[in-house]
Amino acid sequence: MFQVFQIVFPIFSIVLLGYLYARRHGPDMASANRLNLEVFTPALIFSVLSGEGFELTLYAELAAAALVVVLGSGLIAWPVARLFGYSTRTFLPPMMFNNSGNMGLPLALFAFGEQALPAAMILFLVENTLHFTVGNAMLTGHVNPLKLIRMPMLAATLAGLLVAALQLTVPGPLREAIQLLGQVSIPLMLFALGVRMTGVDLADWRIGLVGAVVCPLSGLLVAAVVIMLVPLAQTQMLQLILFAALPPAVLNFMLAERYDIEPRKVASVVLLGNAASLLVLPAVLYLVL
């Protein structure tokens, strides 16, 4: 149990710090979040994927498993939405697209060490790419390929994979600079998550409560089936289980707000889902570790 506490304490303490700081000072995180999306996170992605010893073939099955978990969670959540009369555009995306960035990357780092970051990055990239393609299509009815190609995170992914595939060596000083930039991303993600939590309310707490149960449960059910069918290495299997149990991504609320798709309901789903992760993630960690 103490091992679980050691893993989750740094994560939730930074989220709490962001929340308390925002309650007192109300910082505008728009520029910081944009920097994280366009500079720091792409730097982290490139440094991990282009690092020595990264082999994409080692993670092909994990990537496929993550894809099934994301899409399968939506299939399980769909009848739940119909049962309770929720709009599928409101309820399904938070059930499918989880906090693989803000929560998943630091969780993998503290639970399994730096050697687990490549696998965590693959999970994050699969979820994030699906969010900006399938997720956008669910909300708007279309996807803009040109906009997707211009995303810095996708460019960093392609560049990192190219360096790894060609076995190129990034010059030492440049590699160190990119790694330093990447090290900013994870703590900033957690702090920004805490800040974002101050901007939502619990007016629609019922749908939030249903989502807090369905999100981890649907992911874990699909992951259990995938694990029986796909031969994954032990650490990758454990990381997939943690990935499946992650709460809804804050990006779900931001997109719902942008496209005016019941943002208050989505905010409640995101807030209660992340609050429930205080219990869910330690329980899952205790079981897998």
Bridge partners of 98, per DSSP, are 248
Nearest to 181 by CA among 275, 82, 47, 77: 47
pTM (2 d.p.): 0.85
Q: Is 177 helix (H, G, I), strand (E, B) or coil?
A: helix
Looking at residue 116, its amino acid is: A
Give per-residue pLDDT as tens, 189-247.
889 878 877 876 667 789 999 999 999 999 999 999 999 999 899 999 999 999 999 99
What is the span of the domain harbouring residue 68? 2-288
Positive or negative torsion for Cα 254, 260, 263, 269 = negative
How many residues appear in the chain?
Answer: 289
Which of 58-72, 147-161, 163-177, 229-243 is least confident? 147-161
Q: For position 256, which CATH number holds?
A: 1.20.1530.20
Helix (H) or strand (E) holding 108: helix 105-112
Q: What integer pLDDT is reported at residue 236 of this predicted model? A: 95
State the burial class of residue 173 (Cβ atoms within 10 Å of its Cβ: 0-12, 13-18, 19+).
exposed
Q: Say what percent of the chain tops pLDDT 70.
A: 98
Domain count within the chain: 1
List phi, psi (to 5°) of 91: -90, -40
